[in-house]
Each structure stands twice: as C-alpha cells, then as structure tokens.
C-alpha cells in the first residue's frame, strides 16, 4: 500500500515556491524591467521561501511599490493593494457589511419569521463587502498583497495587520475565522515618516531601499527608456545625484528621473546642459524653493 501525500496545513502554499534562487529572482524581475540588486533579490527569495511578509523601507520614490508590482508581474500573481492613509479603519482595510442590502432583506422578510432566522440570513457572504486584506486572504490563486505606505496610518491600524501577518487569518464575529488556504506574498512599504511597531516588524523580513548610485540609476533609466542614448542617461543620473545632495524639500525620485529622461526624449534634447536643465527642472523638482536652490547651486540662469 502506498503512502498518501500529506495534505497541506491551513494557510500553506499548494504549489512549489515561485523562485528557485536569488539569481532567479533577479532574472525574473529584470524580465519585467525591474533591476534588483543582490540584497533585494536575496531578501525577496528568503521572504518567499520562509513565507514571511517583507517590510520595505526607504525614501519616497526609490521603487518600493514598484517592487511589489514587479513580483506580481514576474510571477503572474494577482496584485491586491491596500493604500494606507490617516484615518484608515477596519471597514476599509478588512470588510464591512452591506447594510442597505441587509435592510432590504429584513423588510422583505415575513414578520412571522423569528429574528434568529433573519439574523442568520443577513450575515452571510451575500452581504459581505470584502476589502483588500480579507480579499487577499480568501483568494485561492497566487496573490501579492501590497500594504502600501503603512507609516501613514494610525498606530491602532497596525493591530488590524498583526493577525493577518502572523496567522494569515481574519476573524469575523458573525461568520467565524477565515484562514488562508493559500498564503499571499506580502509586501509592506514605509517611507519611515514614523516608526512602525516592533510587533509588526517582528513578523516581517526587512529590506531598505535607498537612492541608487549614479551608475545603477543610469542602468535603470536605460532599462526603462531604451530609446535614450546611454551618455544622456548618465548625465541625468549624475545630475539627479547632485540634486539629492542639496537641502531640498523633496529630492528627485527614481520615477521622476525616468520621467526626466522621457521628457528630454520627447523634446529632442541631446545634451543636458544648463539651458536644458533650467527648461525641464519642473519634471524632477516640485517646489518653487527647490527650483531656486538648485538654480543657485548649479549656476543656472532661469
């Protein structure tokens, strides 16, 4: 008699891991135009292997959100995004009941029906409005759950995340506990505007993404804007690096330097000289005071 295959534990993946090695992570992400360095590729691989959430911190615009999108695109997994903001609550993060539909059902119910029966009728899946966290937990398909800019929420909201990130389950008082049959790959991003709780950090692996070196940023620009000449991409990367050394309200993000490259291409500018910088600086600097400081430091004549 053969030995039957042991069934997967609740909340475990039903298929082999997506990535076979850090090198495979880098290769697959490069296939969707995301250039991951060794640290990033290794951390993504370990997070996948250990089935642990990945907390990615760093300045705004260095590719934290794009990393989650790239993992989704590279693996074919569905992307579910919870965009965090001040005032986010359980109803927007987990679930809420469709009260209007419940009221209509109650009104349509015979007055002779017992309340217990009516209660059981209206607290079912038919009346449940799932939000990103519960939606990700309930999916059987491969899923990347992006919890974006977690540092923008109130501290109390982190408590909502703890059950999901530790047990991959959600408790609904009227229905019971919903446990994932297939764990999503979770990416939590933070711009570090406030310190996240130690309880949340313990549940995650950690990756810090900083602004790339000029050499690396040149590679990113060439990857994203292949029509651009390599020497012009290098000029953009080095100028962006210089701007980031200034005391600006908002330093140029990688996404903005890519937009800068596309702008120069659209305008037919072949050399990023002082005139070209002054003409297009609004693509990368979004504060008037930053324009003045950059013009002074770079010796531009606006």
Over residues 213-239, the mean pLDDT reads 96
Nearest one of 107, 99, 102 to 121, comparing CA atoms: 102
In this prediction, residue 36 carries a pLDDT of: 94
In this prediction, residue 117 carries a pLDDT of: 62
- In three-state form (DSSP H/G/I as H, E/B as E, the rest C), the secondary structure along 212-247 is CCHHHHHHHHHHHCCCCCHHHHHHHHHHHHHHHCCC
User: b/e map of 165-180 (b: 16 or more CB within 10 Å)?
Assistant: bebbebeeeeeeebeb
205 and 37 Cβ atoms separated by less than 8 Å: no
* Mean pLDDT of the residues in the chain: 87
Q: How confident is the model at residue 17 (pLDDT cuts 50, 70, 90)?
A: low
In this prediction, residue 219 carries a pLDDT of: 96
In this prediction, residue 16 carries a pLDDT of: 42
Higher-pLDDT residue of 298 and 8 is 298
Quote the CA–CA distance of 63 and 154 in Å, as a whole number: 24
Helix (H) or strand (E) holding 147: strand 143-148
Q: What percent of the chain has pLDDT over 90?
A: 61
In this prediction, residue 130 carries a pLDDT of: 84
The C-alpha angle 151, 156, 161, rounded to 5 degrees, equals 70
Q: Which of helix, strand or coil describes residue 292?
A: helix
Quote the CA–CA distance of 256 and 266 in Å, as a whole number: 15
Quote the CA–CA distance of 272 and 134 in Å, as a whole number: 49
Higher-pLDDT residue of 300 and 108 is 300
Higher-pLDDT residue of 103 and 200 is 200
Query: Has residue 232 got a pLDDT over 60?
Result: yes
Quote the CA–CA distance of 94 and 137 in Å, as a whole number: 10
Helix (H) or strand (E) holding 128: strand 128-130
Over residues 270-292, the mean pLDDT reads 93
Q: For 24-50, how does the pLDDT look when each residue is reduced to its tens digit (9 = 90+)?
A: 999 999 999 999 999 999 999 999 999
Q: Which of helix, strand or coil describes residue 118?
A: helix
Quote the CA–CA distance of 178 and 273 in Å, as a whole number: 59
In this prediction, residue 21 carries a pLDDT of: 94
Quote the radius of gyration of the chain (alpha carbons, Å): 24
Quote the CA–CA distance of 35 and 66 in Å, as a whole number: 11
- Within 8 A by CB and 6+ apart from 275, the residues are none
Query: Has residue 2 got a pLDDT over 80?
Result: no
253 and 280 Cβ atoms separated by less than 8 Å: no
Query: Has residue 222 got a pLDDT over 70?
Result: yes
Q: For 85-144, how does the pLDDT look when each residue is reduced to its tens digit (9 = 90+)?
A: 988 888 888 888 877 877 877 776 766 665 556 555 667 777 788 899 999 998 989 999
């Amino acid at each position: 008699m053969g030995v039957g295959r042991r069934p997967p534990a609740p909340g475990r993946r039903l298929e082999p891991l997506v990535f076979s090695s850090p090198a495979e992570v880098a290769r697959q992400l490069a296939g969707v135009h995301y250039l991951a360095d060794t640290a990033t590729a290794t951390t993504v691989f370990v997070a996948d292997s250990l089935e642990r959430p990945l907390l990615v911190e760093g300045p705004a615009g260095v590719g934290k959100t794009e990393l989650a999108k790239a993992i989704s695109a590279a693996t074919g997994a569905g992307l579910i995004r919870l965009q965090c903001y001040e005032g986010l609550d359980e109803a927007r993060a987990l679930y809420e009941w469709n009260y209007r539909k419940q009221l209509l059902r109650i009104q349509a119910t015979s007055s002779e029906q017992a309340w217990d029966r009516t209660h059981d009728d209206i607290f079912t899946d038919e009346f449940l409005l799932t939000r990103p966290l519960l939606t990700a937990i309930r999916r059987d398909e491969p899923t990347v759950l992006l919890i974006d800019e977690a540092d923008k929420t109130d501290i109390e909201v982190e408590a909502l995340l703890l059950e999901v990130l530790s047990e991959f389950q959600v408790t609904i008082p009227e229905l019971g506990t919903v446990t994932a049959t297939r764990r999503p790959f979770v990416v939590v991003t933070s711009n570090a505007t406030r310190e996240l709780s130690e309880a949340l950090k313990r549940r995650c692996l950690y990756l810090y993404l900083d602004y790339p070196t000029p050499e690396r940023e040149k590679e990113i620009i060439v990857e994203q804007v292949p029509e651009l000449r390599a020497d012009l991409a290098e000029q953009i990367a080095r100028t962006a690096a210089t701007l980031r050394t200034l005391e600006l309200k908002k330093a140029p993000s990688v996404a903005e330097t890519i937009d800068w490259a596309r702008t120069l291409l659209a305008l037919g500018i072949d050399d990023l000289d002082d005139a070209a910088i002054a003409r297009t600086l609004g693509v990368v600097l979004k504060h008037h005071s930053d324009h003045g400081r950059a013009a002074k430091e770079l010796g531009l004549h606006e």
